[in-house]
Amino acid sequence: MIWGYPVHINSMRTKGSSMAIELTRLGECAVITIQRKEALNALNYGMLRSINQMLDDVQASDARCLIFYGAGGKAFCAGADISELLDRTVPEEYAGTRLGQSVFSRIESFMLPSIAVVDGYALGGGCELALACTFRLGTANARFGLPEVKLGLVPGYGGTQRLPRLIGVGAALEMLMTGRFVAAEEALRIGLLHKLIDADDPLQHAVAFARTFNHHSLLTLRLVRDAALRGTAVPLHEGLSIEADLSTVSMRSEDGQEGIQAFLAKRTPQFRDR
Ligand code: DAK
């Protein structure tokens, strides 16, 4: 296991002397922590690239779940670093939005299920990061929002696409067009949050939540997640075709055969993630 290292990134364009993204291990989970308290964990482009590099490390490890956390108790992430968004050319803007989209899409379809642990603000790009995760757990202090409209901007890291798919077009339009913040109880009610957790030790709660599924085959988890996510982006008949393909793959996989044999032999399956 190669981690436990904090990765520090310095940027002359960002307030504060240094900022950090840290990759650590907690039980069977890899934890990527955003530590830039002075700017409410706002993400700049260097930090996005660091997250992408850390995904390579997580992918090469034996972790069974990936957790994203924002340190400091006030914010998961207050969005893209607004101080970086001025005076850029159209090609630079386009490249920036494609960078954020590609990192978040990689998280969405990553080989491991992911959990966003939201303690405080998850705004703009921070909300979009949480939306890209498989699961969202939040403390009573969690606040979600896509306030880009207040800046005269359209969200650029997937918010206009993932939010309507998750909570429905009507509710998403209301959040997108007012820019209002949604508190934890409401987020739970509309399906933005999966679960409320105590603020005492949010990461331990997330690790406990991961234990409810991470003993299953990672291959099966990935296939079932992808069937649901890919299927809801296309018409039903195409979704059913995706389901048929991925279900067939699962049936012919080693773990699919092992699960059936274990059931018939009345024993616990020994999955090998393949
Ligand atoms: N970026 C940079 N700094 C931020 C920040 C952000 N997103 N959010 C907060 N900060 C900084 C504040 O400037 C302040 O710094 P100092 O003044 O102390 O130096 C410090 O964090 C503490 O913030 P506040 O003093 O404002 O704290 P409050 O408790 O009073 O307010 C707040 C908390 C979260 C309500 C407030 O900070 C806030 O409204 N923050 C901005 C939230 C926001 O608008 N997020 C969305 C950002 S835009 C793209 C297209 C679009 C996008 C990106 C790319 N392309 C086409 C490339 C847009 C993405 C976004 O996410």
DSSP 147-159: GGGGGT----SSH
Beta bridge partners of 19: 9
Q: Which tokens belong to 259?
A: 């699960």
| 6-210, CATH topology level | 2-enoyl-CoA Hydratase; Chain A, domain 1 (3.90.226)
* Ligand 1 atom nearest residue 124's Cα: 61
Residues with CB under 6 A from ligand 1: 15, 39-40, 42, 78-83, 93, 96-97, 121, 123-125, 147-148, 151, 153, 155-156
Catalytic residues: 128, 148
Task: Give, using CA atoms, the residue closest to atom 25 of ligand 1.
Answer: 39
pLDDT for 20 equals 86
123: CA distance to ligand 1 center in Å? Answer: 8
CB 139 within 8 A of CB 197: yes
Q: What is the CATH number of domain 218-264?
A: 1.10.12
Predicted confidence (pLDDT) per residue in 67-87, tens digit: 999 999 999 999 999 999 998
Give, for ligand 1, the residue of 40, 45, 103, 182 to mutate: max count of ligand atoms closer than 8 Å to Cβ: 40
Interatomic CA distance for residues 119 and 134, integer angstroms = 17
pLDDT for 204 equals 96
80: CA distance to ligand 1 center in Å? Answer: 7
101: CA distance to ligand 1 center in Å? Answer: 19
Question: Looking up tokens 């979600």, which residue turns up?
Answer: 144
Question: Looking up tokens 């274990």, which residue turns up?
Answer: 262
pLDDT for 3 equals 54
CB 227 within 8 A of CB 246: yes
Could you state, in order of their start, the residue ranges of all structural domains in the chain? 6-210, 218-264
pLDDT along the chain (274 residues), means of 10: 43 42 96 96 95 97 97 96 91 92 98 98 98 98 98 97 97 98 98 96 97 97 97 95 98 98 98 96
CB 223 within 8 A of CB 156: no
40: CA distance to ligand 1 center in Å? Answer: 7
